[in-house]
Each structure stands twice: as C-alpha cells, then as structure tokens.
Amino acid sequence: MKVSGRPTRTIWPSADGTAVEIIDQTRLPHAFAIVRLATLDEAARAIRAMLVRGAPLIGATAAWGLWLAMRADPSDAALARAHAALLATRPTAVNLRWALDRCRARLGVLPPAGRPAAARELAVTICDEDVVLNQGIATAGLPLIRAIAVRKAHGARINILTHCNAGWLATVDIGTATAPIYAAHHAGLPVHVWVDETRPRNQGASLTAWELLNEGVPHTVIADNAGGHLMQRGEVDLVMVGTDRVTATGDVCNKIGTYLKALAARDNAVPFYVAAPSPSIDWTLRDGLKEIPIEERSEQEMSQLSGRLANGTVATISLLPEGSAAANPAFDVTPARLVTGLITERGVCAATAAGLGKLFPEHVAV
Ligand code: MRU
C-alpha cells in the first residue's frame, strides 16, 4: 500500500541487516514513525504494546523476533525460551502460534549454527506468503462486490462497512478485509467504506481511515453504534471484517463489537463476510465461544483517550469519573450461523466444517 504515494510494507529488514523495522502504529494517524527492533525483547514488546497489531502482522513480527533471538543465541534452550516469550505476548490471534510453531519446527531440526540464516529466510518467506494470501483474498472477494455493483443502479455507491483494522496495517501488505475493497477500487467500482471507529483503541478511526485515505478510497468514519441504524436505512450493502481466529466449524473471533455488527446485519439481511487467510484458521477448535481465549486488556484503554490538540501536540485525556471501574475485553466471537461466508485465499466458502473442508481437504480429519 502507499504511504504518501510510496509503496510500503508494514515490516522489513533494516538496511544494515542487523534488525527489523516496523511502523509504530500507536502513533498513527498523527505521526508516521519507524521503530527499529534489534532484540527478542524489543520484538515481544512491540507486539504486546501493539506497536504492531493485527493477526497476520503479529505472526510475521514473531517470526522476525525468533530470527533476532537466534542471532543472539542459537541454542536449543534459547529457541524454546524465545518461542515461549513471543507466544505469551497476546493470546487471541492464532497466527502468532502458527508462525512460531512453523519456525520452531524448521529451526529445531537444524544444528544451532545454521539457525540464524534459516530463521531469517523463513521470516522473509512468511512475509512474502502473507502478501500472496491477501492477493488471493482480493481475487476471491472481488466478485462479491462486483455482484452488488451489477445489482445497484449504474454508478451508485457500494457501501461496505468494516470494523477495526483488517487492512494493510494488520498484515504485511494489502490487508485481508480490505483486499477485495482495494481490488474493487482499483477496478473502478464506486466503493465507499463505512469505518467503525472501534473503541476503545480506535483502530478504525486511527488506522483504517488513515490507510484508506492514503490509498484514495472514499470512506466515512462512524461511531461504533451507528452501524445498525445505517443498515436499517439500506445504507450498507455488505459487511466485511477480518478475524483473529476462525474455528474449524466457522465461528469467527474478531475485534470486540464484531458480533453486534453480525447481529444487526442478520436482522437487516445484509451479507456479513469474513476475510480469513488460512493461518487464521485454528483447525484444533470446534466451539469458538468456549475455546477461544479472549484477551482482557488494560482498563486504561477505556478510561483514557489520545488525540491531537489544536496546537499540534498529541495528548492523553481522561474520560471516566475517577473511581469508576472499566472492563476491556478485546475480542468477541461471532457464531458461524451469523456469517454469510468466509473469504479465504482459496475462494469463498460457507462458515461450516463442510465449507472449510471443501477448500482445505488436507485439514479434514479422516
Ligand atoms: O487488537 P488488534 O488491533 O490486534 O485486533 C485486530 C483485529 O481484530 C483485526 O480485525 C484482525 O486481527 C484481523 S487482521 C487482518
């Protein structure tokens, strides 16, 4: 995607070959700051403190984190320690475990001396593969948007509602939920995106809006509570969201508030699609509500808000009366029955074990 007109990824190896560089997403949209990660601890902190976030990018950063760990100490003990430290950073997105297990399986069978180079190669591969997966989602999802364009009056705006940031910033490039949207925009379809602000961290208002702006996609930021009203008025043609973990039966875990959008979509017969690259599918789980760990984040994210003041400085303000408690569950689970379809890199399928099984037969238990 473009930043000030320049194609940019969200993570890349530093030019001197000793570190990895990321965009500090906690500073967007008010500052575009690049941060250098040179150690395992710095990579783990970047994930925990959400300098990088979004399921695919968390996985990619973890792969680079293992490379940083192997550069410092390629022993078996250090590999196990680094795997555990990175896995503990955030609990919900399964891409983290997927990337770490894949790296450990590859590195564990090598002699320690060969691990740093192999870890680097694998981190590069995981990043490049992420881009290809998202291109697959773009190809699979574009016909859904085209079908709406055909149905609507010629040239009428196609309104797509999205929640959180499942865009370029949540991945290495392109995004998942945004991939079909960017493809439609580049194909000349008149897409317009309703961007849920996504309290409490405002990934929609701060990140999705910023990246759509950079890419020139028409969009409007709305309060999280506005989606149902817009659907009732016929102003949403499609809901398209990302996911942190999909069960083998099609339950979808995503940013808190996604479930409410799915309920409103069902009540108003608005199609509700989830962009789900295969590393976000947890083939070991069958019941999302019971089995997916939901991250509980700090009360401060609820009680405080950051923004830019009129004088240009960025400040944090308090929202709540002192003494009020706040709770901050960061994700929720949308039951498969509310999901119209899953958009994967292999095509669109029903959010069911059978639907997923058709596209990914290698994961079906025999
Ligand atoms: O807490 P975050 O910002 O990491 O949550 C991100 C989301 O919920 C995204 O929608 C999800 O990771 C899909 S990203 C392609």
CATH code at position 173: 3.40.50.10470
Whether 166 is in the pocket of ligand 1, judged by its Cβ within 6 Å, is: yes
Is residue 135 included in any domain, yes or no? no
Task: Give the nearest ligand 1 atom to 242 CA.
Answer: 13
pLDDT value of residue 6: 84
Atom of ligand 1 nearest to the CA of 203: 3
DSSP E strands in 131-189: the ranges are 158-162
- The more confidently predicted of residues 366 and 196 is 196
The residues that are catalytic are 244
Instruction: Give me ligand 1 centre to Cα 8, in Å.
Output: 19
Same domain as 165, residue 66 = no
Query: Angle at the Cα of 21 (from 17 to 23), degrees rounded to 5?
Result: 165
Question: Which of 97, 168, 173, 243 for a ligand 1 pocket mutation test, highest count of atoms within 8 Å of Cβ?
Answer: 243
Nearest by Cα to 289 from 245, 352, 225: 245
Helix (H), strand (E) counts: the chain: 13, 18
Total domains in the chain come to: 2
Residue 365's pLDDT is 66
Cα(56)–Cα(282) distance, integer angstroms: 13
Q: Verify that 97 and 187 share a domain, yes or no.
A: no
For residues 171 and 198, state if they share a domain. yes
> Is residue 133 a part of any domain in this protein?
no
Is residue 89 within 6 Å of ligand 1 at its C-beta? no
Q: Kindly state if the Cβ of 59 falls inside 6 Å of ligand 1.
A: no
User: From the CB of 244, is ligand 1 less than 6 Å away?
Assistant: yes
Residue 235, classed as helix, strand or coil, is coil
Residue 166 has pLDDT above 60, yes or no: yes
Ligand 1 within 6 A of CB of 145: no
CATH code for the domain in which residue 117 is found? 1.20.120.420
Widest pairwise Cα distance in the chain = 64
Q: Ligand 1 mean position to 54 CA, how many Å?
A: 4
Give me the chain's average pLDDT, please.
Answer: 97
- Quick check: CB of 167 below 6 Å from ligand 1? no
Average of per-residue pLDDT across 99-106: 98
Residue 1, pLDDT score:
84
Residue 195: closest CA among 223, 217, 168: 223
pLDDT band at 4 (very low <50, low <70, confident <90, very high): confident
Which pLDDT tens digit goes with each residue over 9-21?
999 999 999 999 9
Query: Does 194 share its domain with 259?
Result: yes
Place of tokens 């150690």: 39
The residue among 109, 4, 12, 3 whose CA lies nearest residue 60 is: 12
What is the per-residue pLDDT across 146-158, written as a single tens digit (0 to 9) for each? 999 999 988 899 9
Containing structural domain, residue 9: 2-128
On whether both 46 and 153 belong to a single domain, the answer is: no
Same structural domain for residues 123 and 144?
no
pLDDT score of 2: 81
Mean pLDDT of 79-104: 98
Residue after which a domain boundary falls, among 128, 159, 191: 128
pTM of this prediction? 0.97
List the single range of 2-11, 207-216, 228-237, 263-272 with lowest mean pLDDT: 2-11
